[in-house]
Amino acid sequence: MYSALFYLCLILVIILLYNPDFIPNNFWKSKAFYNSVTKEYTTAKKGKRRLICFTLGIVLLFPLYFLQMNENYLEEEYFIEEQNRLEQEELDKINLEKVRQEKINTLEGLGVSNAFSLSEQQQDVLLDSVENKNCREKWLKILADDFGVHNPNLRKRTDNYNINKDCDLAVGLYTELELKQWEKERKAKAVTIRTLVNDYKTLGVLGGNQKYAKSNFDLKNCQILQISDFSSWTGYTIHLAAGTSNSVNCAMDYGKTEGAEILGKLRVGSRINLNAKVYGPQVDVYSYGSVTIRLEDGTIW
């Protein structure tokens, strides 16, 4: 629109510059052309008329020029975007067809003779079923090899192609058995409070610290006697049953909020498994057989 208006005004300005008398004389009867001496309108002077036409042309044409340039730029941007959109649509069609052909080839390789006539949704369902079946068989073999579990009851439902959709259940069972085995192995390596106390009685402070104060170790089946509230110096502390005249406590490695959430679920008399290390400077083995042990960096597992 601005382009047409610009060229229309340009043509009009050219005509007026060439022949300013194109505009009727009555238009020029203004004070700009009034002769104060002769008391008449000097309408025959074309030079001044051309100057006025040129000035008005500049005032009109400059804004119209920039408007039509902006309009052309927007149109060009639109055409570029439209061209890119059409190219992308064509590329998407090619990719979709390529994916569809790959699905058909996969299904035909699996023995499905009518794969080409199936809808895309049917192809996806069938591929998903085959994938689930293969995954299920893979994990059933892993369960049998790693844990000796044969023919676990995983069936929940069947799909349209009568193939079990229980691959996730097989993976979940494997994870559960693996976690149980890991916990079993960890508990087998963990020591009890009684073992810890006896080692310090047998080895002494130096020997016990050499074994338990250098790094964290696992304690199992620890009975809670008391849980001390949070302190800015020691945090939370759990006092553990260690036999008559012995004392074992553990500074927990939990902040105030986290510790309140975790330790608030525990009760006096319950049993927990801990991971911690001995704080060597606060260990005492007395001559009359009592032991005092301070643990630190404690976490529950």
What's the confidence (pLDDT) of residue 215? 95
H or E segment to which residue 5 belongs = helix 2-18
Which domain CATH number covers 203?
2.40.50.110
Q: Which of 134, 163, 186 is the last residue of a domain?
A: 186
Closest by CA to 123, choosing from 91, 89, 161, is 161
**Same domain as 140, residue 204:** no
**Same domain as 2, residue 103:** yes
**Same domain as 205, residue 279:** yes
Express each pLDDT in 50-108 by its tens digit: 777 778 777 777 777 777 777 766 777 788 888 889 999 999 999 988 988 888 888 88
**Same domain as 227, residue 295:** yes
**Same domain as 167, residue 133:** yes
Q: Is residue 233 part of a domain?
A: yes
Most confidently predicted of 5-19, 91-105, 165-179, 193-207? 193-207
Q: Which of 67, 86, 111 is the last residue of a domain?
A: 111
What angle do the packed helices 120-147 and 167-189 form, to 10 degrees? 30
Q: Is residue 222 part of a domain?
A: yes
- Rounded CA-CA distance 127/165 in Å is 12
Structural domains of the chain, count: 3
**Same domain as 126, residue 227:** no
**Same domain as 204, residue 266:** yes
Considering only 42-46, 77-81, 172-176, which range has the smallest mean pLDDT?
Answer: 42-46
Model confidence at 159: pLDDT above 70: no
Model confidence at 156: pLDDT above 60: no
**Same domain as 211, residue 179:** no
Cβ–Cβ < 8 Å for 48, 33:
yes
What's the confidence (pLDDT) of residue 161? 41
Express each pLDDT in 208-259 by its tens digit: 999 999 999 999 999 999 999 998 888 999 999 998 889 999 999 999 999 9
- Rounded CA-CA distance 73/75 in Å is 5
Q: Is residue 269 part of a domain?
A: yes
Q: Is residue 106 part of a domain?
A: yes
**Same domain as 230, residue 170:** no
Q: Is residue 101 part of a domain?
A: yes
Q: Is residue 116 part of a domain?
A: no
**Same domain as 231, residue 195:** yes
- C-alpha distances out from residue 243 to 63, 68, 202, 212, 296, Å: 98, 96, 16, 19, 20
- Segments forming the whole domain that contains residue 74: 1-111
Q: Which of 50, 82, 111 is the last residue of a domain?
A: 111
User: At 15, is the secondary structure helix, strand, or coil?
Assistant: helix
Q: What is the pTM assigned to this prediction?
A: 0.51
What's the confidence (pLDDT) of residue 283? 94
* Chain mean position to CA 138: 30
**Same domain as 295, residue 257:** yes
**Same domain as 93, residue 168:** no
What's the confidence (pLDDT) of residue 46? 61
What's the confidence (pLDDT) of residue 194? 95
Closest by CA to 250, choosing from 206, 188, 184, 193, is 193
Cα Rg of the chain, angstroms: 46
Q: Is residue 52 part of a domain?
A: yes
Q: Is residue 282 part of a domain?
A: yes
